[in-house]
Chain A
Amino acid sequence: AQTVTQSQPEMSVQEAETVTLSCTYDTSESDYYLFWYKQPPSRQMILVIRQEAYKQQNATENRFSVNFQKAAKSFSLKISDSQLGDAAMYFCAYRSARYGGATNKLIFGTGTLLAVQP
């Protein structure tokens, strides 16, 4: 069974600095998707970034980028030029690329709570 591990329950970063959130996963599959979701305090969870396992190029979305290391099964999120609005719980998630109902369910990590210090 696939698992997703976020080993940092909490992290802190100074405004304008860069922070990296760690995520590792375990799978025997070769084709899958990885995601980072952001859940701000008392606000809706949103999808931040997505990576297809077959792509070697790391995904980027503005100030958010990932470091995808397939062999190491590592998928870290880098936030550049941190802003106060980046303070949130961040969840890493995995999904198989095979099609078939609940087999495509997202497997979430336990989350990393990011604080941004002014």
Chain B
Amino acid sequence: DVKVTQSSRYLVKRTGEKVFLECVQDMDHENMFWYRQDPGLGLRLIYFSYDVKMKEKGDIPEGYSVSREKKERFSLILESASTNQTSMYLCASSLTGSLQPQHFGDGTRLSIL
């Protein structure tokens, strides 16, 4: 079974901190995604990566950056955390021929105080 692993299920940080959310997949998938999930808004794409060191902005990239130095790992970085970034963050992956997410991680519930 494909596994997408997010490093933390729950995380509490303070405003202004630099926050790293890590995601690792074990099936050699080319595509990886970071979504943010908020009640009443569904899932919104933050960033998408289709290969190592390759990335594209999604709907809401402001305040975020990403890093993909190795194929299996896709990191989401909050440069200077703010309270409006309190949310559930979902990582996902898929094969090259499948541009929609196939497998999701458990999610990281991030609270910014």
Asked if A44 lies at the interface with its beta carbon under 8 angstroms from chain B, I say yes
Q: How far is it, in angstroms, between the C-alpha of A102 and the C-alpha of B40 when the chains are bound?
A: 23
Which chain B residues lie closer than 8 Å to A16 at the CB level?
none
Asked if B41 lies at the interface with its beta carbon under 8 angstroms from chain A, I say yes
List 9 A-B pairs, minimum CB-CB distance, nearest first. Answer: A108-B42, A45-B104, A104-B99, A108-B43, A110-B42, A102-B56, A101-B56, A105-B45, A44-B104
Interface residues of A, count at CB 8 A: 22
Restricting to B54-113, which residues have a CB under 8 Å from any CB of A? 56-59, 90, 92, 99-107
| Interface SS, A side | mixed
Partner pick for B105 among A44, A95, A105, A108, CB 8 A cutoff: A44
Q: How far is it, in angstroms, between the C-alpha of A99 and the C-alpha of B56 when the chains are bound?
A: 14
Which residue numbers of A lie inside 8 Å of B, CB to CB? 4, 33, 35, 42-47, 91, 93, 95, 99, 101-102, 104-106, 108-111
| Interface SS, B side | strand
Asked if A106 and B106 sit within 8 Å, CB to CB, the answer is: no
Asked if B48 and A33 sit within 8 Å, CB to CB, the answer is: no
Which chain B residues lie closer than 8 Å to A104 at the CB level?
99-100
Q: How far is it, in angstroms, between the C-alpha of A102 and the C-alpha of B107 when the chains are bound?
A: 22
Which chain A residues lie closer than 8 Å to B45 at the CB level?
102, 105-106
Which chain A residues lie closer than 8 Å to B43 at the CB level?
91, 106, 108
Which residue numbers of B lie inside 8 Å of A, CB to CB? 4, 40-45, 48, 50, 56-59, 90, 92, 99-107
Which chain B residues lie closer than 8 Å to A46 at the CB level?
103-104
CB distance from A65 to the nearest CB of B (A): 20
CB distance from A27 to the nearest CB of B (A): 16
Asked if A102 and B42 sit within 8 Å, CB to CB, the answer is: no
Which chain B residues lie closer than 8 Å to A43 at the CB level?
106
CB distance from A106 to the nearest CB of B (A): 5
Q: Contacts A101-B48, A105-B59 hold; do A44 and B41 have CB atoms under 8 A apart?
A: no
Known: A44-B4, A45-B104. 20 other contacts (CB 8 A): A4-B42, A33-B100, A44-B103, A44-B105, A45-B92, A46-B104, A47-B100, A47-B101, A91-B43, A99-B99, A101-B48, A101-B50, A101-B56, A102-B56, A102-B57, A105-B59, A108-B42, A108-B44, A109-B42, A110-B40
